[in-house]
Amino acid sequence: MALTLLEKGFAASIQDLGRFGYQRYGIIAGGVMDPPSAKLANWLVANSESMALIEFSFKGPSILFTEDTLFALSGADCRPELDGLVIHTGKPYFAQAGQILVIGGLISGSRGYLAVSGGIDTPEWFGSRSTYTRAGKGGYKGRLLQEQDRIPVGQPSQLAKKLMDGVPVKSDLGGWFFSLFRAYRRIQNIRVMPDTLWPRFSESSRQAFLHSEYKITASSDRMGCRLEGVALSLDNPFEMYSEAVTNGSIQVPRSGQPIILMTDHQSTGGYPRIAQVASVDLPLLAQLPPNSRISFKKITIAAAEQLLLKQHESLNLLHKRIIHKLESLIQ
């Protein structure tokens, strides 16, 4: 099984939930920028959530299915077409061999996901298929996708096979759809926990950080979300030793303009950190396009953990509902 890229879109790459256990060797964890959206796409095609899929930004790729395939799109909103017929995100579709999917530009949000039943089946590197461009490993030949790439697809699950064999109306598998109900347009409240270095920042910087707006700049990428707003400074500048950092660490380099570390961040960093983004809000942050405005709201670590657990539970519930729907189609 395979699919062929006719147009590459923008920064399309193979990703899964990340490569863990190797940051101590200087190898990034990587993985999808918006895990809930990626899981949703996989669930819709009866895959396990950790299977590899295609992530794209701003403009999706166009794809030729060379075999009958069950597929689904999620994440950013777009107006995809299958052989010229309008289709939707958040729903599984059946493509016959020879059909062409045109994803096109993204309308709201900035990361989209295409999952196919069986998952993308490029070779694993240290337990993950996530693309690590800097090391030239993982994903498809360790790089972003290009036109004419022929991307291998794995064996569909039993449920996916039954869906492809048994459903009478082939292309659209049902009138229902699933979404994560997010809006990306208004000013977003991003919840943060003060870092232990918080007290070293000046009083006016701490106030500005919590009470002014920051703009996401166009130089943001999978490594970091670069912000523009009131410059932040330390009371007494000091040199830090490099140390491990994590997704959501908000670093403040000498320019005073904060950088939020995102999925492809280096495993270590040496800039002072003012705060940490609550994990529950990172997928949303990953979806905010350049020029989006955000404001920060302080919460406790205990509250952040509770929010994460709640998100986890509601995703589990969504997964159960999807499996139930898919199974009802073949009965």
Considering the complex, what minimum distance in angstroms separates the CB of residue 135 from other proteins?
5
Decide if residue 302 touches other proteins (CB under 8 A): yes
Judged by CB under 8 A, the residue of 171, 246, 257, 295 near other proteins is: 246
Judged by CB under 8 A, the residue of 59, 91, 129, 137 near other proteins is: 137
Judged by CB under 8 A, the residue of 97, 107, 135, 183 near other proteins is: 135
Judged by CB under 8 A, the residue of 4, 23, 50, 179 near other proteins is: 23
Decide if residue 21 touches other proteins (CB under 8 A): yes
Who's near 204: CB < 8 A, 6+ residues apart? none
Query: By C-beta, is 304 or 322 nearer to other proteins?
Result: 304
Decide if residue 236 touches other proteins (CB under 8 A): no
Decide if residue 304 touches other proteins (CB under 8 A): yes
Give the per-residue contact string, 167-206, with other proteins (x = CB under 8 A; - = no): --------------------------x-xx----------
Query: Which of the ranges 14-22, 63-71, 202-210, 222-230 carries the binding residues for other proteins, by CB under 8 A?
Result: 14-22
Decide if residue 244 touches other proteins (CB under 8 A): yes
Decide if residue 87 touches other proteins (CB under 8 A): no
User: What residues numbered 253-282 form the site for other proteins, per CB under 8 A?
Assistant: 266-268, 276-279
CA distance 194 to 209: 11
Judged by CB under 8 A, the residue of 2, 308, 318, 329 near other proteins is: 308
Classify strands 293-298 and 188-194 as parallel, antiparallel or unpaired: parallel
Query: Which of the ranges 148-156, 161-169, 212-220, 301-309 carries the binding residues for other proteins, by CB under 8 A?
Result: 301-309
Among residues 240, 269, 256, the alpha carbon closest in space to that of 201 is found at 256
Count of CB atoms situated within 10 Å of the CB of 84: 8
Decide if residue 238 touches other proteins (CB under 8 A): no
Decide if residue 330 touches other proteins (CB under 8 A): no
Considering the complex, what minimum distance in angstroms separates the CB of residue 159 from other proteins?
25
Decide if residue 125 touches other proteins (CB under 8 A): yes
Residues forming contacts to other proteins in the complex (CB under 8 A) are: 20-27, 125-126, 134-135, 137, 193, 195-196, 241-244, 246, 248-249, 266-268, 276-279, 301-302, 304-305, 308-309, 312
